[in-house]
A and B are shown apart, each in its own frame.
Chain A
Amino acid sequence: MKPARFDYVRAESVAHAVEALAGAGGDGKVLAGGQSLMPMMNFRLVKPSVLVDINRIPGLDRIARRGDRIALGALVRHRMTAEDPLIARHVPVLHAAMKHVAHLTVRNRGTFCGSVCHADPAAEMPMMSLLLDATLAITSPRGSRTLPARDFFVGSLATALEPDEMVTEIEMDIPPPGTGWGFEEFARRHGDYALAAVAVTLERRDGRAHDVRLAVMGVGEMPARLGAVEALLEGATLDAARLDEAVDALRAAITPTGDLNASADYRRHLAGVLARRALKDAWTRAGELPA
C-alpha cells in the first residue's frame, strides 16, 4: 500500500517543526527515522494531515555527556548509539541492548527518540529509558518541559505527548563505575520484536546488592520497572534461593497476553528465565565497591 495524502513540511528548526504540528489540527506527525511510522503510513494505520520531517534540523544528531547523564538528540540513529564509544564503555547495558534492535539497515535510519515516542511494548528503547531513569525534553509552541520516562508511557503505542509537542532529546543515567548489568532478550529470529526481554543494573557493596533496577518488556501493555522485584533484592545476596524468590515475584508482577507468537503462560515463564540470567550476569559483573 501507499501512504494517504499529506502536507509535507521540511522543518528547518525545532520552532518551525512544532509550529507546523500545532497547525495540523491534532493529527500532525513527526518524521524522524521513519522505520515505524512509514510502515504504519504505508498500511494507512496512520494518516497524518501534516508530516513534519525533522531530518534536516541541525544539532539534533548529537550524543553528549553531562556529568553522570548522557543525552541523545532526536536524530541520533540506532547505529550511532550502538557504535558510540562513550556508551560502549560507560553504559554497557545500553550497548548490549542495541545489538538486539532490528537489523543493521534499519539501525542506519531509526532513531532512539523516535522509538521511544512510538512506544512499542516490545521495543528495546522504551524499556531502556525506564531502566536508566530517562528524562525527555519536550518542546511545543507553548514552551518547553521535561518529563520522566516513567510518566511518558501511558499504553501500548501511546504516550503523554500532546499533538503539538515533539521530543528534542532524551537524557539517561550513566550508571556509577562498577555497576553490574545484565540484558537478556528472546525473539523468534534475530532482530525481530522480542517475545520478552529483561534488563538489570545493580551495585554490589559488602557482598550485597544495592540500587537494583529491573525492567521488562514484551510482557504487558507497556515496558515496566518492577519495583516489587527491585525491593526484594535490595540489600540481598543474590544466591540461588534469592534468585528463585525474585523470579517468582517477577512472574507474579507481570500480566502478559498471548498472541500467535507465544501464549501468555509461555511469556511469563520466559520472562522468569531471562530475569534469572540477567540478574546472575549483573551480580557477577558488579565490581565490589567500598561499603
Chain B
Amino acid sequence: MSARAEITVTVNGLTHTRAVDPRLLLSDFLRHELGLTGTHVGCEHGVCGACTILLDGRSARSCLMLAVQADGAAIDTVEGLGSMEALGRVQQAFRDHHALQCGFCTPGFLMTITDMLRHHALESDAQIREALSGNICRCTGYEHIVNAVRELARERGPLK
C-alpha cells in the first residue's frame, strides 16, 4: 500500500514505466524521474500555475496530482510543444509578442493556452484574461501575453 506502485504513463508520446512512492507529486515525477524539467514548480499548492500540464488533453496542475494517479494517462508537457530549432505555434507567438521575460511561468502559460485554444471561447480580451487568470506572471504585466493569445485565437480553427 505505501509500497512503491508501478505506473505506466505516456508523456509527449513516449511511454514510461516506473515504480513510484505514492506520495510523489506528478510534478516531481516529471522533473526528477523523467528529467523533464520544463515543467516548473512555483507555489506547490495550485495557485501559480507554473506546473500546468495536459492530462488526457486537458490542463491540470501537476503539483496537485500524485504520480500514481496518472497511471495509464497521456500527459503533455512543454517539451512536447516544440524544440529550440522549431518552436511550436504557441511558443512562436510568445516570442513574436515578447510575452515572457524571466520565463519561469512560461511553461505553465503555454500549456494552459494550448488547452484554452482547443476548448474555450477567446473572443474578447475579457475571455482571454479569464482563461489566463489561473497563471501568475510577475514580469510582463500580462499585456504581451494577452496580445499573443489574441493572435492565436484569431487564427485557430473551430473549437473541439
Binding site for B on A (CB under 8 A): 1-10, 31, 34-35, 38-39, 42-43, 50-51, 53, 55, 79, 102-106, 108-109, 189-191
Contact = CB atoms under 8 A, between A and B. Distances in A.
B1 A104 contact: no
B30 interface: no
A102 B61 CA distance: 13
Interface residues of B, number: 32
B66 interface: yes
Given A105-B52, A108-B59, A51 B64 contact: no
B64 A104 contact: no
Interface stretch (B80-88, B89-97, B98-106, B128-136): B128-136
Contacts of B69: 31, 34, 53, 55
Nearest to B131: A104
A53 B68 CA distance: 10
B58 to A, nearest CB: 5
B45 interface: yes
Contacts of B116: 104
Contact of B134 (A6, A9, A31, A105): A105
A3 B23 contact: yes
A2 B22 contact: no
8 contacts: A2-B25, A5-B23, A7-B2, A38-B64, A104-B130, A105-B49, A105-B115, A106-B134
B63 interface: yes
A108 B60 contact: yes
Contact of B22 (A7, A79, A105): A7
B39 interface: no
Contacts of A4: 23
Contacts of B129: 190
B112 interface: yes
Contacts of A51: 22
A192 to B, nearest CB: 9
Contacts of B61: 35, 105-106, 109
B46 interface: yes
A8 B22 contact: yes
A100 to B, nearest CB: 11
Contacts of A35: 46, 61, 64
A106 B55 CA distance: 12
Contacts of B58: 79, 108
A34 B65 contact: yes
By Cβ-Cβ distance, the 4 closest A-B pairs, closest first, are A103-B134, A8-B22, A39-B45, A7-B1
Contacts of A104: 59, 112, 115-116, 120, 130-131, 134
B28 interface: yes
Given A4-B23, A104-B131, A109-B65, 4 more contacts: A7-B1, A51-B22, A103-B134, A104-B115
